[in-house]
């Protein structure tokens, strides 16, 4: 396996009119499962295609195994790519779909058979080798596409939203299988996804992208707990973070309607957004900052409820096991320690001086 690095990489389309990637600097260590996370159009697939050699950077360097590969064609980079649509040959059986890359590289027939069946057993595909893709489920087709990559023993695996076409139950099972598989292989994996749950659950390292730039990198739980930008705070989290617009005056947060007021440790003056995650707010007055509001909506989620609460012009959500009655006045509270502050213009995190 090999580390991957991008240095000052920029990529444009339409003669420079569209900036796909802007000043990308990224190092992915050897053997690490890295997710590139972001919304559609943020540049994550373009980044993957640059590493694969399917696109060339307009400036900067792409390195695999500490060697610059800008001028190395895709077939000589020793990488394997798994696509969103599986890209299986419909007229070839499973065995031939998995073996085709080895055949093109001139491997002996007995080596091909051994490699393919070793990987098939690893992926629990040994009973499907004589079937055609149309005779397989979506999850089985995805495993065949993955198997085709695994038989090559590549230095780097590139996966472009490989689970997005699967239904929820199959996706969950396949996600677990992939995590176990790559953990056992100790493989260098770059996994593109727009699904923050996948990124949080599967990754050793996460790269959060937006508008062709990298907003933040790090371990999943670290990014979740310490977002550097409003976008990162909003994008990560099973339930969207609550944001209150207001201002800070003399180390005190005041919402736009003046009904949410509390002391802060932020000395910066001016327009801000205060963010608090639904799971950090509790019903009652058990924590230091308390708000009185009205329950306006309850959304059941298994054994918990996502409760929408209105305070003046502000509405926020609480994740709780309790079920308050709609239109009732309730008290909710949270700790200042769990509140994030972001500059209203730049979106950058504001921290205590």
C-beta separation of 109 from 103 below 8 A? no
**pTM, rounded to two decimals:** 0.89
In 142-281 the beta strands, taken as DSSP E runs, fall at 156-160, 189-193, 205-210, 213-218, 242-249, 252-255, 261-263, 270-276
4-235 against 242-350: fold identical: no
The architecture in CATH of the region 4-235 reads 3-Layer(aba) Sandwich (3.40)
Strands 340-343 and 270-276: antiparallel
Question: Length of the chain in residues, anyone?
Answer: 353
Judge residue 303's burial from the number of C-beta atoms within 10 Å of its C-beta, 0-12 exposed, 13-18 middle, 19 or more buried.
exposed
Each of the 353 residues of the chain gets a pLDDT tens digit; together they read 689 999 999 999 988 889 999 999 999 988 899 999 999 999 999 999 999 999 999 999 999 998 999 999 998 898 988 887 778 999 999 999 999 989 988 899 999 999 999 999 888 899 999 999 999 988 888 889 889 988 988 889 999 988 877 787 878 887 888 888 888 888 899 999 999 989 999 999 999 999 999 999 999 999 999 999 999 999 998 899 999 999 999 999 999 999 999 999 998 899 999 999 999 999 999 999 999 999 999 999 989 999 999 999 999 999 999 888 888 899 999 999 999 999 999 999 999 87
Tell the residue number behind the tokens 């060339």, with chain if given.
56
CATH topology for 242-350 is OB fold (Dihydrolipoamide Acetyltransferase, E2P) (2.40.50)
Per-domain boundaries in the chain: 4-235, 242-350
Dihedral sign computed on CA atoms, order 48, 49, 50, 51 = positive
DSSP summary character for residue 241: P
Instruction: Report CA Rg, the chain.
Output: 24
């Amino acid at each position: 396996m090999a580390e991957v690095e991008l240095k000052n990489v920029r990529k444009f389309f339409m003669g420079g009119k569209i900036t796909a990637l802007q000043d990308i600097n990224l190092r992915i260590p050897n053997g690490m499962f890295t997710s590139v996370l972001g919304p559609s159009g943020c540049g994550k697939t373009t980044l993957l295609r640059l590493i694969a050699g399917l696109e060339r950077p307009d400036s900067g360097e792409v390195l695999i195994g500490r060697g610059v590969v800008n001028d190395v064609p895709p077939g000589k980079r020793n990488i394997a790519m798994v696509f969103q649509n599986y890209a299986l040959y419909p007229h070839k059986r499973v065995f031939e779909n998995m073996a085709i890359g080895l055949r093109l590289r001139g491997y002996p027939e007995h080596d091909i058979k051994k490699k393919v069946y070793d990987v098939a057993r690893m992926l629990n595909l040994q009973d499907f080798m004589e079937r055609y893709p149309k005779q397989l489920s979506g999850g089985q087709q995805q495993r065949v596409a993955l198997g085709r990559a695994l038989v090559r023993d590549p230095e780097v695996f590139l996966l472009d939203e490989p689970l997005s076409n699967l239904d929820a139950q199959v996706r969950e099972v396949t996600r677990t299988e992939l995590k176990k598989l790559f953990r056992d292989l100790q493989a260098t994996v770059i996994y593109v996804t727009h699904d923050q749950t996948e990124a949080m659950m599967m990754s050793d390292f996460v790269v959060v992208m937006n508008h062709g730039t990298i907003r933040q990198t790090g371990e999943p739980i670290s990014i979740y707990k310490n977002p550097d930008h409003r976008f990162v705070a909003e994008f990560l989290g099973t339930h969207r973070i609550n944001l209150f617009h207001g201002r800070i005056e003399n180390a005190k947060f005041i919402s736009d309607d003046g009904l949410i007021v509390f002391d802060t440790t932020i000395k910066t003056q001016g327009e801000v957004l205060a963010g608090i995650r639904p799971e950090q707010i509790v019903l009652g007055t058990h924590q230091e900052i308390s708000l009185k509001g009205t329950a306006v909506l309850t959304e059941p989620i298994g054994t918990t409820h996502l409760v929408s609460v209105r305070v003046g012009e502000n509405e926020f959500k609480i994740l709780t096991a309790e079920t308050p009655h709609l239109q009732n006045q309730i008290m909710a509270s949270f700790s200042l320690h769990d509140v994030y502050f972001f500059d209203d213009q730049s979106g950058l995190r504001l921290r205590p001086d």
